Every structure is written in structure tokens, then in C-alpha cells.
Amino acid sequence: MNIFRKLFDWYFNSRTLPYWCILLIDCAIVAFSMACGILADNSWTIAGGQFSQFCLGILIALIPFVVAFRLLHTYSGIIRYSTFTDLTRVAAADGGASLVLLTVSLIVSWLAPEQNFILLPGIKGCLITFGGSTLLMWLERVIVKRMFDTFNIDRATPVAIYGTKAGGISIAQSINSVREKKYRLVAFISDGAEMKDAYLMGKKVYLNGPNIVKTLEHLGVKMLLVSPLKEEKLRSNDKFIDELIAAGIKILMMGGGEEWDGKSQLNHNQLHEVSVEDLLPRDKIEVDMDAIGALLRCKRILITGAAGSIGSELVRQIAKYKPAEMVLIDQAETPMHDIRLMMAKQYPDIANSTIVTSITNRRHMEKIFFEHRPEYVFHAAAYKHVPMMEDDPAIAVQNNIYGTKVIADLAVEYGTRKFVMISTDKAVNPTNVMGCSKRICEIYCQSLNQAIQEGKVVGATQFVTTRFGNVLGSNGSVIPIFKDQIAKGGPVTVTHPDIIRYFMLIPEACQLVLEAGTMGKGGEIFVFDMGKPVKIVDLAKRMIALSGAKDVKIQFSGLRDGEKLYEEVLNDKEGTLPTDNPKIRIAKVRSYDYETACNNEERLLKISQNFDDMAIVKVMKEIVPEYKSRHSKYEVLDKEDEK
């Protein structure tokens, strides 16, 4: 039994059985069938003196079968993967060889009726040879295939599918259709009461309820495959997610901002093990991509900060619409080189320039605008890290504020149609230098747009501002930091147990930026509905659980300079106006005089040349009265104002 088991394991674990081995087995089956046929022709008896003729007859009669097997390659197919085509090929080879054998047998019996040197099958014997060998070779292949399927399924990972509609069924069909069984379907899970105790594709459907995870454990389920149609439902059920993670049941879904059209065949290989980004609650983003495409197609596009998280995604999304030219600007050399390589590989037909420079270099920027004459500008370049800008407000002024002024002024001078500025939720009632610098940028762009509309500034550029919160996976965001800390064994550092943040996927944020740019007529500040806020400590706990790491502690480090416990609610209907997209609203903010905005910028830039932190921030607070510092050395300036 041990020898048999070893042979069994060797065959089913090996890639294939040698061709010669299959040929020998098939020849043995034919020889057995032929022996039965010859015996049937001779009343099932062979005289003692005819045994040699009997054996010789079988050997000679095998020749046409070997030739037929060779011509039709019946032995070339992997038996455990046999199909109806393979079985048909076996029958054809057997039938052809049997006809040849019968012809030879009839000729020999006609020419030498009294011969006794060889025994060949007659008509009945040839029929038995054909029927017996064909059926036995079919049976051989069917048995091997069934044994392989059983062996393979036993090694496959037991899974359940969440979803019983088109998505779930498509995943199940994909699992069942592959030769190498990676997954073994055990059950379906449904939220619909009408599916209670139902069976789908031979598997029981279980209702999603309080004890569903225990049921899955009892069934031995190791993975839950989530239909794309159920992803939003799963994200909203924290209890279900936590129980699955605690039970060690892995969750597989599309996630990552990918979408399924609901019609095409869904391959289970499109699913991947979830990361924490996939499980954060968020609503589906609906964007009019046709309108965006019509706007940008065959246009000259300039993107600043093109190597950053948002900028690089804008590059990829805009490139899909076949603009006439893309001018990509960033001061980070290595990431810009990566962007250049990406454009050359994925979009070789689009004219593009990747330029390493600073937006504060006015002479260089003017040269770029003069040469390329961009019709649309997406301004994503900015220093964004709050603690860094708290330490050096002069740089925030020179890069964020002055850099924006340079780009905005050149856009007007060189006839840019639309200027879309990427801002942040930190510009709302700012508590730090970075947030205030972005608010001053908003003020300048708004006032410039108004001046154009009033005829005070000659130009036709429409200025649009977009505000949103944290994007998942951006450079320096909390999730990559947590991943690194978990990988090192901890501790995972959270600034405060009550701190919350809004999150959005980078592709989704960029889609909303593009749509806002499409619908904007000039002067608007668009704010995005960021969905439900996430408690950062809960985010850390889930990331630790998903990683499978043990004994990783969470450590509270205290709020950083300028950091808020929570960002302002961006979709407050009392402070916003609706648009055609429910995810995008227009912020109601007071207008500013363009001449005053210019004077403020010049004043700030001049003061920043002295790198006097207190003096710089004092002026910033005068420009933006709602700027109140938190956990910062600049709080003293707020106290002076209160006196």
C-alpha cells in the first residue's frame, strides 16, 4: 500500500506522465482486447500447439494500432486533463486501426485459408478489439481524471463566496473551470432572506447573520471571496470584518478602486487579499468620464507636482483621454524619471515633456508657458507635511504661496483656459502653517478670477479650486508608516486616541478633481464628500490584525505641532452649495479684493526672505484671521491678538 501511495502521489504531483508510458498502457489495453477477440473467434479455446501463433498474431496486429496512435497523438494529451476531443481522437485511432486489421485478416484468410503460422482476429474478433479497447481506454482516462480532480480538490483551499447574484456566480464559475484547482467552493453567503437554505451550483447558501463566521469555521473555510457587488456592504459591516480577521479567515476582493462592469466574465484571479485600504468605509464614486474625456482630448495639458501622489495619478488618468501634449513639472528628479519611463512605455503616442524645475523659478516657468501654451493647468505642486512647514514657514510661503502666484499669473498671461488648483481640507479654519498657506493660495486664485470677470485684469482663464482630505497610500501618509512599524515589530505610534481623519483613494480623488475641473466656471472652491471619518487608532488595530503580527503594541506619542484632532467637515450643507454630482459641493466663502491679495502676497514674500518665523506667521494670521495655531510655538501670537 505504501508503494502504491508513493506512486499515486508521484503521478498526481508531477506535471505529466511520460508519453511512452501512456503508449505502453494503451497498447496493453489493445492487446488484452485483441486476445479476447481471437479467443471469441476460436470458441474461447486455444490448442496447446497454437499459443505461439496466438502471441505472434497479437504482436503483428498491434502494428496498425501503434501507427494510428502515433498519427493521431492519442498519447500526447495529459490523461488527467482529458476532454471529449481526446476521447474522440482515441475512438478514431482505434476504429481506423481495427479496419486495417480486419482488412489484413480477410486478405490473409483469402490468400492462405489453410495457414497455421499465425492467429488473427476475424470480423467478430475485430469488433471486440475495437469496442473493448476503446471503452477501456476511455474508462482509463475518465478514472484518472476523476482521481486527479479528487486529489487536487483535497489540496485546494476551502472557500466561501459572499454574494449570490451575477458577481458571486461568475467567481464560482471561474473557480470550477480551471484545471489546477486553487480553491474548493464550500458555500455561498447571502444577505437576502429569500435565499435561506437554498442551493446554488450544488452548494448551500447561508444567510449572513450573527453566527455566520462560526458557521464558516465549522465548514473549514479559510478564505472569503467577495463579489464586487458586495464590497460596499462588507466595508460597512465592521463587526463582520473583525470576526473574519479574528477567525483567521482571509478576505479576497477586487478593491483598490477597481470596478466590475457587471456583464463580463469575472475571473477569480482578479481578487486579491485585502489591505486595510480596501476595507475602509466609502461610497461608490460616480463620475461623468465621457464629459472629462471630451474636455481634455487633443488639448495641451500642464501638470505641476507631476511626480507626487496626486500629480502622478492625474498624469495617468489624463493620458487615457489622448491629449495633444502633456507638460509635466516637478522638482523631484528620480520620481520624474520614473514618470518619463512610464509615459514612454504606456503612452508612446502622446507628446510629453518631463521637466525638473521649481515652480518658484519664474524665468524658467515663463519659458515653459511660452513654448507650450498650455490650455489646461492642474496645479498639484506644494509642500504638504504639517510638522515640516511648522518648522520653516518661509519655505511654505516661497513654495506654496509664491509658486502658486507664479503659475496662476503665467496661466492668465499665456491664455490658459482653465486653472485647477489642488487644495486641502486643512485650509478650512487652519491650525497650522501648511493649511494657512493653502488658504492664501485659494484666496489669490479666487480674487484673480473675480478680477478677470470684472475686467480689472485682462484674460480669460477660469480658476477652480478643489479641496479634499487624506488620500490612501500617498507619500508620507499614515498607512505606509504603520506598515513599516508593524513589519519592524512595533510599536505603532498614534498621536492621540481620539484623532480621526477622512480618507479617499487616490484614483477616486483624481476623478473628482477632473470632474470638478469640468463643471467649474471659474471662482468656485469645490469640496468633496470624503465619506465617514476613521479613527486612526482603529485603523492601526485593524492593520495589526490583518498583518497577522503578534504582540505589536500601539503607542500614543501626542499631537504634532499644528495638528488637529479632527478635520473640518467638508460637506456641511450649511456652508456649501450642491452640484450635479452629490459627492461634490461648492464652498461658500467670502470674496477678497485682488489688489489686496496681491499686496498681501508681496508682503509675505518679502518678509520670508528674512526667515523670521514669528514675523511670517504673524502676517499669515492677519491675512487669514480664522488661522488659530494648535500645539505650536505660534500660539503665542493668538494670545497677543486677544489682548
Annotated catalytic residues are: 426
- Distance, CA of 468 to CA of 627 (rounded, Å): 18
Measured CA to CA in angstroms, residue 85 lies from 46, 113, 355, 609 at distances of 38, 41, 59, 81
Give, for 156, the enclosing helix (H) or strand (E): none
Record the cell numbers describing residue 206, joined without a space.
447561508
What string of DSSP letters covers 113-130? TT--S-----HHHHHHHH
Q: Where are the beta strands (DSSP E) in 216-291?
A: 223-226, 250-253, 272-273
- Distance, CA of 537 to CA of 535 (rounded, Å): 6
- Distance, CA of 290 to CA of 102 (rounded, Å): 71
Please name the residues in contact with 297: beta carbons below 8 A apart, sequence gap of 6 or more: 321, 322, 323
- Distance, CA of 54 to CA of 605 (rounded, Å): 109
Please name the residues in contact with 89: beta carbons below 8 A apart, sequence gap of 6 or more: 72, 73, 74, 77
Record the cell numbers describing residue 56, joined without a space.
505472434
Residue appearing with cell numbers 498621536:
495
**Which DSSP category does 570 fall into?**
T
What string of DSSP letters covers 177-201? H-SS--EEEEEEEES-GGGTT-EET
- Distance, CA of 11 to CA of 28 (rounded, Å): 19
Please name the residues in contact with 109: beta carbons below 8 A apart, sequence gap of 6 or more: 115, 120, 122
Amino acid at 400: N
Decide: residue 443, CB within 10 A, 0-12 exposed, 13-18 middle, 19+ buried.
buried
SS3 326: strand
- Distance, CA of 35 to CA of 68 (rounded, Å): 19
**Which DSSP category does 270 fall into?**
G
Note whether 315 and 303 are within 8 A (CB): yes
- Distance, CA of 191 to CA of 102 (rounded, Å): 65
